[in-house]
Amino acid sequence: MKIIGILLLIASRTLAQSTDTLPISNRATNIFLSNKIGYYLSSPDDLTLYKNSVLFNAATGTLAVNHSLYQPKGSDQRVGAFTTIGVQANVADAFAATYSNRPFDNRFGFFSKQTWITKGHARCTPAQTQAMNTQRARILRSLEPDTAHQQFNTDLRDEYYYALALQQSEMLIKSQNYKDVTLSWTSVSIYFPLITENIPVAPTRVDSPTTRHAWPLRLNFTHTKLWESTRSGRFYLTIAGDLQLNNARNGYQLETVTSPKWAYIGAYSNFLTPTLKGQFCYLPPTSHFGISAHLEQNFGPYHALNGILGVPIVLINKKSEPVCNFEFQVRFFDLSHTVQTGRGLPGRTSIGLTIGVPFSKIAF
């Protein structure tokens, strides 16, 4: 039992004398930060520390299923970098195309993302650090009797390391023995289409349409900073950049005709569209509701300024862990009136909804 206590104590070591580190083990910190990060999950470019996630965007009809390749190294270490892979498809298009009697716009592709997470910073008073050290010692004592009559093999060790980390995280969340936490992460992702978009295009109304093919490859760079205070709440600030292989139809440069057959009229072309994005999200202390604002400026032949106002909502389980994220959105298209002139604000506004569900275990 003494050996078990020593091993568990090693797993829970922290820089208790430092006010720049949470007074819990590194594995417990991973679980704790997963809880804080998990209050906002709206797109595949957002961060989750769970092994798997499913995301749905009602505005684009896109469903994404992602899986993290991170494997814990078996020691008390923070999650620093990992790779995520997944697939994306516009599953809602079949219903919309059938209803409107237009050609199917099938999109299906592979998604890959590399994420780097900084060590972050935390501020705790000496009294808060001492309180957590005392509570951590109680957790150690409560776990030791359960292992007194069991062989301490690898599986048992991992089980109790996780129990120790989970209880530390839950205790810190419940007691709020910290002043604030700052964390940032950077990701680079690529969406690689596995099938092409087939677009019927005719130069004029009297010409017969021919099928043109689009390949919407997308590269993304995202940097997010999270700051949470026990008094002020949780703030997310994100800057991002996209580079997408776009086309004249998606750039609103073609006229749409529906009779006798659905087709697009005009000069078709493929081109690159760089995009600069910024987003701010805030959730008050102990609140499951928040507010978010998103702006994106496109450049090149398609140069619309678009915006989103959102209300993120997170559902939690009995352990106060985020289990499902919703964001109800009001989406504003072409705020600068450069794409389709003559349309007022109602004609440039739509309602959206995103759903993000992380599941399976946390990569701790």
**Same domain? 26 vs 55:** no
Question: Pick from 361, 13, 16, 24: which is nearest to 172 by CA?
Answer: 24
- Give me the pLDDT at residue 8, please: 46
pLDDT, one tens digit per residue, over 132-173 is 878 877 877 776 655 554 555 555 666 777 788 888 888 888
Say how far apart CA 311 and CA 146 lie, in whole Å: 45
Amino acid at 277: K
What pLDDT tens digit does each residue of the chain (364 aa) get?
Answer: 444 444 444 444 443 334 467 778 888 888 888 888 988 999 999 999 999 999 999 988 899 999 999 987 766 788 889 999 999 998 877 666 666 666 677 789 999 999 999 988 888 888 888 888 788 778 777 766 555 545 555 556 667 777 888 888 888 888 888 889 999 999 999 999 998 888 899 999 888 889 899 999 999 999 999 999 989 999 999 999 999 999 999 998 999 898 778 889 999 999 999 999 999 999 999 889 999 999 999 999 999 999 999 999 999 988 778 899 999 999 999 998 888 766 666 778 999 999 999 998 887 6
**Same domain? 287 vs 171:** no
Which range of residues forms the domain containing residue 19?
1-37+125-177
**Same domain? 105 vs 202:** yes
Element (H, E) at 64: strand 62-68
The answer to whether 177 and 124 have CB atoms below 8 angstroms apart is: yes
**Same domain? 7 vs 107:** no
CATH number of the CATH domain containing 234: 2.40.160.40
The DSSP 8-state label assigned to residue 60 in this structure reads T
CA distances (Å), origin 101, targets 83, 93, 104, 148: 40, 11, 9, 69
**Same domain? 108 vs 130:** no
**Same domain? 190 vs 54:** yes
**Same domain? 185 vs 172:** no
In a domain, 42, yes or no: no
In a domain, 325, yes or no: yes
In a domain, 43, yes or no: no
Residue 299's SS3 state is coil
Question: How many domains, in total, are found in the chain?
Answer: 2
- Give me the pLDDT at residue 99, please: 63
- Give me the pLDDT at residue 258, please: 83
The answer to whether 16 and 133 have CB atoms below 8 angstroms apart is: yes
For tokens 């499951």, the residue is: 288
Specify the pTM: 0.86
**Same domain? 70 vs 167:** no
**Same domain? 200 vs 283:** yes
In a domain, 277, yes or no: yes
**Same domain? 214 vs 331:** yes
**Same domain? 80 vs 143:** no
Omega within 30 of 0 (cis) for the link into 260: yes
